[in-house]
């Protein structure tokens, strides 16, 4: 009997710990605080400060959806070191290139995010 109670207590403890530390993308930032909760971005870079990390935010004009105006902005930044549009190596010296264009293409007509830090808002679902 005692062993059963002990085992149940341990199970509850582990379950609670796992729930508390939910980290879907495994980047070390808990879902509730992760500005890209489904993409690993341990640095949490968010150049435009909309609580939607660069790695899941191709909505450059903050319209709520990735569309043609965002492609236009991307085209103007191509070849530059625009940190917001440099999705894969957002450190000084990055260059906006074809890999970033592919990212934009995949995100076309979708909303940015999801972000754990803006749950319930429309800026970054
Ligand atoms: Ca995470
Ligand atoms: Ca993340
Ligand atoms: Ca952002
Ligand atoms: Ca947009």
Confidence category of residue 92, pLDDT binned at 50, 70, 90: low
Ligand nearest to the CA of 54: 3
Q: What is the pLDDT of residue 105?
A: 95
Kindly list the domain boundaries of the chain, sorted by start residue. Answer: 23-118
Structure tokens at 66: 């990735």
pLDDT of 95 over the 70 cut: yes
Task: Give the global pTM.
Answer: 0.75
Helices (H), 48-91: 68-77
Q: How far is the CA of 72 from the centre of ligand 1 (A)?
A: 30
If pLDDT is split at 50, 70 and 90, which confidence band does 36 have?
A: very high
Rounded percentage of the chain residues whose pLDDT exceeds 70:
74
Residue 19 has pLDDT above 70, yes or no: no
Q: Which residues surround ligand 2, an ion (CB under 5 A)?
A: 25, 27, 34, 36, 41
Spacing, Cα 20 to ligand 3 middle (Å): 25
Q: How much distance in Å is there from the Cα of 75 to the middle of ligand 4?
A: 14
Instruction: Kindly report the CATH class assigned to 23-118.
Output: mainly alpha
- The phi and psi torsions of 57 (rounded to 5 degrees) equal -135, 90
Is residue 11 predicted with pLDDT exceeding 80?
A: no
pLDDT value at residue 124: 67
Contacts 24+ apart (CB under 8 A), 52-56: 52/112, 52/113, 52/115, 52/118, 52/123, 52/124, 53/115, 54/83, 54/84, 54/86, 54/87, 54/90, 55/87, 55/88, 56/112, 56/113, 56/114, 56/115, 56/124
What spacing in Å lies between the alpha carbon of 18 and ligand 3's midpoint? 28
Residue 42 CA to ligand 4 centre (angstroms): 25
Check residue 18 and give its pLDDT.
52
SS3 17: helix
* DSSP conformational letter for 33: G
Question: What was the pLDDT predicted at 4?
Answer: 52
Q: Is the pLDDT of residue 106 over 80?
A: yes
């Amino acid at each position: 009997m005692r062993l059963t109670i002990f085992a149940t207590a341990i199970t509850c403890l582990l379950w609670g710990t796992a729930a508390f530390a939910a980290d879907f993308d495994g980047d070390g930032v808990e879902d509730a605080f992760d500005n890209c909760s489904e993409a690993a971005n341990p640095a949490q870079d968010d150049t435009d400060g909309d609580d939607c990390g660069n790695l899941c935010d191709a909505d450059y004009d903050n319209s709520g959806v990735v569309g043609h105006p965002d492609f236009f902005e991307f085209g103007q930044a191509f070849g530059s070191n625009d940190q917001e549009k440099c999705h894969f190596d957002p450190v000084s010296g990055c260059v906006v290139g074809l890999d970033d264009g592919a990212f934009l293409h995949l995100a076309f007509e979708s909303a940015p995010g999801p972000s754990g830090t803006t749950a319930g808002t429309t800026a970054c679902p």
